């Protein structure tokens, strides 16, 4: 039996029943990484020795009859944005190329407490800024469905690793779509929880008021289980919600119907141009499936949505310029040779940060600068309120909103690197949900004629992850998209122009 073909839940159950040991499961994943990650480029750091030691310890504890956590023995790679104590964490930046954290992120603590074996760190766009993982300072990640294409970003290493079975599940972060868009482009499930649902302590900050940690996996139930483990109040994060995490998030009965559910289709998310027709038809077909399960579908309007990208690129860059001010080479991180302090800062940061990061720091610094704060950062904050009000109005009529996750399927590596605005528009459907702080789920709903995955996005009310997961599970149970895996060996497949 190839344990890497098991879902996260199946693997967890197999470990519990003793069918497989954690060392065996960990070895299996490490072997696949060795065999395939040269082609994919998902991992930045692999800690084989540490992982096998953790796995052995968990096996021993289990054999000794100690009670095991919800994910005991499950090996997992994690996006390199989560601080893992003692294990190099780079955020895919030269600034942190040799940085070894001195503490664990809260979500990492919770995974470890649940018995997860950390096998390595996954590639991403530098400081989470990007939609293709091409902004990583160290390597490109390739989409397993066609290695000439991007896996999306910024959690591209995470999505590619799940799709290529180099990890059974993982965590990503989502600031403007960075879990959902790569999930869609790689044909997997990704959840961005409500802002404040999951602790941000120990997660390298990009844009504080937008960043959220979320699970990624092959099935909705896998994602729900991970969410159950990581969600909930953290006293170290003043913005984490004290609202109870509903128990049984992962208890999703099979074959449920959706009678009584009202699904909204916002006209602004199905524009005449800028949306690949194969994507829109797959999403419409998915909505028909929801109807077939008993849901009622209605049109809604989110009129301020088209402003989302503009508002986002002021808020996110401003907060990023602030959060990245600490990278100065004084206490940690890359330090350049310099004779004076100004030179130390400017050269260390100039050498350490990649172009996209610099671009955003510059834009954000401008948006906060004297004389421009009111018109830019503050104005964008006001537009956020209008965007949230749109959602609130829509949610008085419907329970979930369905949209495409990404306007296109996976694009080719290098295709959008010369036009930053083009790249930013990849986030157009995911971004408003971050601005409003609401939860969003992306799940596979089809493939285009090149065999590239298409994602359906479901948006929900604040803290209504249970409804999103329930709808997602019902859809998944009625379809088979999630059972398709990219063919191996991983090569260029889709061919042709984008």
Partner 1 sequence: MSIDWEVVIGLEVHCQLLTREKLFCSCPTDFGAPINSNTCPICLGHPGVLPVLNAEAVEFAIRAGLALECQVRERSVFSRKHYFYPDLPKGYQITQYELPILEHGKLFIEPESGAARTIGITRIHMEEDAGKSIHMDTGATLVDLNRAGVPLIEIVSEPEMRSADDAVAYLKALHEVVRYLSVCDGNMEEGSFRCDANVSIRPRGQAKFGTRTEIKNMNTFRGVQRAIEYEISRHIEVIEGGGAIIQETRLWDEGAGRTRSMRGKEDAHDYRYFPEPDLPVLVLDPAQVERLRGTQPELPAAMRKRLVSDYGLSPYDAGVLTAEPVLARYFEAAVAAHRNPKAICNWVTSELLGRVSATAVDACSVTPHGLARLVALIDDATISGKIAKTVFERMMETGRAPDEIVEAEGLRQVTDTSAIEAIVRGVIEANPVQVSGYRSGKVGLKGFLVGQVMKQSGGKANPGLVNELLDRLLGEG
Partner 2 sequence: MESARHLFDGDETVRRIARLARLELDDATLELLRRQLGDILGYVEQLDAVDTTGVEPLAAAGEQTRLREDGLRIALDPGAHVRNAPDHSTGAFRVPKVL
Among 200, 218, 221, 384, binds partner 1 (CB under 8 A): 200
Q: In the range 286-345, which residues lie near partner 1 by CB under 8 A?
A: 318-319, 321-322, 325-326, 328, 330-332, 341, 345
209 binds partner 1 (CB under 8 A): yes
**Among 223, 243, 225, 222, which residue's Cα sits nearest to residue 233?**
243
359 binds partner 2 (CB under 8 A): yes
**Among 193, 204, 181, 176, which residue's Cα sits nearest to residue 434?**
176
Between CA 18 and CA 264 the distance in angstroms is 45
391 binds partner 1 (CB under 8 A): no
Between CA 136 and CA 79 the distance in angstroms is 12
Going residue by residue from 408 to 437, which x/- string records binding to partner 2, judged by CB under 8 A?
------------xx-------------x-x
Question: Is 154 an active-site residue?
Answer: yes
**Among 196, 206, 260, 198, which residue's Cα sits nearest to residue 223?**
198
Q: Which of 8-16, 35-43, 70-78, 308-316 is the region at the interface with partner 2 (rule: CB under 8 A)? A: 308-316
Between CA 83 and CA 389 the distance in angstroms is 35
Question: Is 199 an active-site residue?
Answer: no
Spell out the residues 6+ positions from residue 339 whose beta carbon is closer than 8 angstroms to its own.
Answer: none
Q: Which does 289 bind (CB under 5 to 8 A by kind): partner 1, partner 2, none?
A: none
Only one residue has tokens 């909204």, namely 264
Backbone angles phi, psi at 44, to 5 degrees: -95, -35
Between CA 221 and CA 178 the distance in angstroms is 20
Q: In the range 52-111, which residues lie near partner 1 by CB under 8 A?
A: 83, 89, 91, 96, 99, 101-103, 105
Is 221 or 360 the residue whose CB approaches partner 2 more closely? 360
Is 341 or 491 the residue whose CB approaches partner 2 more closely? 341
385 binds partner 2 (CB under 8 A): yes
Indicate which residue of 178, 240, 321, 432 is catalytic.
Answer: 178
Between CA 378 and CA 43 the distance in angstroms is 38
What's CA 8's distance to the chain center, in Å?
17
Q: Which does 292 bind (CB under 5 to 8 A by kind): partner 1, partner 2, none?
A: none
Among 4, 7, 208, 301, binds partner 1 (CB under 8 A): 208
349 binds partner 2 (CB under 8 A): yes
Q: Which of 6-14, 235-243, 437-445, 453-461 is the region at the interface with partner 1 (rule: CB under 8 A)? A: 235-243
Contacts with partner 2: how many residues (CB under 8 A)?
Answer: 72
Q: In the range 11-30, which residues lie near partner 1 by CB under 8 A?
A: none
242 binds partner 2 (CB under 8 A): yes
Q: Give the containing element (helix H, strand E) for 214.
A: strand 212-217
Q: In the range 189-218, which residues lie near partner 2 by CB under 8 A?
A: 195-196, 208-210
Backbone angles phi, psi at 146, to 5 degrees: -170, 105
Between CA 213 and CA 228 the distance in angstroms is 13
Q: Which does 363 bind (CB under 5 to 8 A by kind): partner 2, partner 1, none?
A: partner 2
Structure tokens at 330: 């004084």
Question: Is 337 an active-site residue?
Answer: no
Among 77, 168, 190, 202, binds partner 1 (CB under 8 A): 202
238 binds partner 2 (CB under 8 A): yes
Is 86 or 299 the residue whose CB approaches partner 2 more closely? 86
Report the nearest approach of partner 2 to the CB of residue 284 (Å): 29
Q: In the range 103-162, which residues lie near partner 2 by CB under 8 A?
A: 103
Report the relative pairing of strands 189-192 and 262-266 from DSSP bridges.
unpaired
Indicate which residue of 22, 79, 192, 406 is catalytic.
Answer: 79
Q: Give the containing element (helix H, strand E) for 190.
A: strand 189-192
**End-to-end CA, the chain:** 38
Is 236 or 484 the residue whose CB approaches partner 1 more closely? 236
Spell out the residues 6+ positions from residue 377 whose beta carbon is closer than 8 angstroms to its own.
Answer: 314, 315, 318, 367, 368
Report the nearest approach of partner 2 to the CB of residue 352 (Å): 10
Backbone angles phi, psi at 194, to 5 degrees: -55, 140
**Among 196, 181, 180, 142, which residue's Cα sits nearest to residue 164?**
142
State the number of CA atoms in the 13 A half-sphere of 255 facing the CB: 0
Q: Give the containing element (helix H, strand E) for 117.
A: strand 117-122
Which residues are near partner 1 by CB under 8 A? 83, 89, 91, 96, 99, 101-103, 105, 200-205, 208-209, 235-239, 318-319, 321-322, 325-326, 328, 330-332, 341, 345, 365, 368-370, 373, 377
**Residues involved in catalysis:** 79, 154, 178
């Amino acid at each position: 039996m190839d344990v890497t073909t098991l879902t996260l839940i199946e693997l967890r159950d197999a470990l519990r029943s003793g069918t497989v040991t954690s060392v065996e499961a960990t070895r299996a994943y490490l072997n696949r990484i060795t065999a395939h990650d040269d082609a994919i480029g998902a991992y930045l750091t692999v800690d084989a020795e540490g992982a096998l030691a953790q796995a052995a310890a968990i096996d021993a504890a289990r054999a000794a009859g100690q009670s095991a956590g919800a994910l005991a023995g499950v090996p997992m790679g994690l996006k390199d944005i989560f601080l893992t104590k003692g294990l190099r964490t780079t955020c895919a930046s030269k600034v942190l190329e040799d940085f070894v954290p001195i503490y664990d992120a809260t979500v990492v603590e919770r995974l470890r407490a649940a018995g997860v074996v950390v096998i390595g760190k996954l590639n991403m766009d530098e400081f989470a800024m990007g939609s293709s993982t091409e902004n990583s300072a160290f390597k490109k990640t390739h989409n397993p469905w066609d290695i000439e294409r991007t896996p999306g970003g910024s959690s591209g290493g995470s999505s590619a690793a799940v799709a290529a079975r180099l990890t059974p599940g993982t965590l990503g972060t989502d600031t403007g779509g960075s879990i959902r868009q790569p999930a869609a482009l790689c044909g997997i499930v990704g959840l961005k929880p409500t802002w404040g649902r999951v602790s941000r302590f120990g997660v390298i900050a990009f844009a504080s008021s937008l960043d959220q940690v979320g699970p990624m996996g092959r099935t909705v139930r896998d994602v729900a289980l991970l969410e159950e483990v990581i969600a909930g109040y953290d006293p170290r994060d003043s913005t984490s919600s004290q609202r109870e995490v509903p128990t049984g998030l992962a208890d999703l009965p099979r074959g449920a119907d959706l009678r009584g559910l009202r699904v909204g289709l916002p006209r602004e998310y199905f524009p005449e141009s800028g949306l690949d027709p194969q994507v829109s038809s797959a999403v419409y077909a998915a909505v028909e499936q929801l109807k077939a399960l008993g849901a009622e579908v209605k049109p809604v309007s989110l009129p301020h949505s088209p402003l989302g990208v503009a508002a986002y690129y002021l808020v996110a860059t401003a907060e990023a310029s602030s959060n990245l001010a600490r990278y100065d080479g004084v206490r940690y991180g890359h330090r350049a040779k310099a004779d004076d302090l100004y030179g130390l800062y400017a050269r260390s940061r100039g050498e350490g940060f990649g172009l996209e990061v610099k671009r955003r720091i510059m834009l954000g610094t401008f948006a906060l600068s004297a004389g421009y704060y009111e018109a830019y950062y503050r104005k964008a904050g006001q537009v956020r309120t209008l965007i949230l009000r749109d959602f609130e109005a829509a949610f008085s009529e419907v329970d979930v909103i369905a949209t495409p996750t990404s306007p296109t399927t996976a694009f080719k590596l290098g295709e959008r690197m010369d036009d930053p605005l083009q790249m930013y528009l990849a986030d157009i459907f995911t971004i408003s949900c971050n601005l409003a702080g609401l939860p969003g789920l992306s799940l596979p709903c089809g493939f285009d004629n090149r065999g590239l995955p298409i994602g359906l996005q479901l948006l929900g009310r604040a803290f209504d992850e249970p409804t999103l997961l329930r709808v997602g599970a019902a859809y998944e149970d009625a379809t088979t998209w999630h059972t398709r895996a990219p063919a191996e060996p991983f090569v260029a497949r889709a061919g042709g122009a984008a």
